[in-house]
């Protein structure tokens, strides 16, 4: 499916709204809602890092949008600060769905090759294995990376070498966040675990760091489609 196909089927306050598209002889023009605030990557470049309470507010909105997307059987595949926009009221919007997949598209094609998409710095460890596939929980790993970066101002796994980055993601325990509350540390570390031990939507929504506030809509959580079981390749 194309980005237009996906976004034209979605309607949520935390997902960028598709407006229209038209085609000229040489171009396809796609119109989305305008987000005057820019994206979270730009905000991080300006502010360096965000206080934990603001990360919690932003995390609520990111999760609400992501849960809705998942409930429609879509894997975002490229969750990162540069793909999270916000308007003048600081309402966050998931944007840039060019890498997104439907659940059934994520698994190996006729050639037996799984589809891998997204930025390596935010990719779950299972995606570096030969049989790795995108899934809802690989998106939740990316969520953990984003929350870590919003609070600390740096990605949890950094290396100028792609091979070394892969080794860090697969073989190294996720770093702690100095100054974070124990509850936030627990949530972030829970998201940055092997796929078979990673927080899933039920445990994420019930986590104490959210202070009892509803995380996403119950009907979206109930509508989550089942996925085939995944194998973990992370060693720590």
220 is catalytic: no
Is residue 108 over pLDDT 80? no
Structure token digits, residue 21? 């598209």
pTM of the model: 0.91
Is residue 115 over pLDDT 90? no
Looking at residue 149, its pLDDT comes to 98
Instruction: Place 19 in a pLDDT band, splitting at 50, 70 and 90.
Output: confident
| Of 67, 103, 93, residue with least CA distance to 223 | 67
- Annotated catalytic residue, options 39, 78, 139, 220: 78
| Of 139, 127, 162, residue with least CA distance to 234 | 127
Max CA distance (Å), the chain: 57
DSSP string, 141-178: HHHHHHHHHHHHSS-SS--SSHHHHHHHHHHSPPPP-T
The structural domains of the chain, ordered by start, are 3-103+114-222 (1.10.510.10)
Q: Tell me what the pLDDT averaged over the chain comes to.
A: 90
Instruction: Place 189 in a pLDDT band, splitting at 50, 70 and 90.
Output: very high
Least confident of 24-33, 116-125, 196-205: 24-33
Is residue 81 over pLDDT 80? yes
Model pLDDT for residues 217-226, shown as the tens digit of each residue:
999 999 999 8
């Amino acid at each position: 499916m194309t980005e237009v196909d996906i976004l034209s089927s979605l309607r949520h306050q935390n997902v960028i709204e598709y407006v229209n598209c038209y085609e000229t002889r040489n171009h396809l023009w796609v119109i989305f809602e305008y987000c005057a605030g820019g994206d979270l990557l730009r905000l991080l470049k300006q502010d360096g890092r965000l206080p934990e309470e603001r990360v919690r507010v932003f995390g609520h909105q990111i999760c609400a949008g992501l849960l809705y997307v998942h409930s429609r059987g879509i894997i975002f595949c490229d969750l990162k600060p540069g793909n999270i926009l916000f308007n003048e009221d600081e309402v966050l919007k998931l944007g840039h769905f060019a890498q997104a997949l439907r659940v059934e598209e994520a698994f190996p094609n006729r050639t037996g090759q799984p589809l891998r998409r997204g930025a390596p710095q935010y990719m779950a460890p299972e995606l570096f294995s030969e049989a790795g596939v995108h899934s809802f929980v690989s998106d939740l790993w990316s969520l953990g990376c984003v929350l870590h970066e919003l609070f600390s101002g740096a990605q949890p796994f950094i290396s100028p070498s792609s091979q070394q980055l892969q080794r860090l993601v697969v073989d190294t325990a996720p770093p702690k966040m100095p100054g974070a509350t124990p509850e936030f540390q627990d949530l972030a570390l829970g998201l940055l675990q092997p796929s078979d031990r990673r927080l899933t939507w039920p445990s994420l929504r019930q986590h104490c760091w959210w202070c009892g506030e509803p995380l996403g809509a119950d009907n979206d959580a109930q509508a989550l489609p089942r996925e085939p079981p995944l194998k973990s390749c992370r060693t720590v």
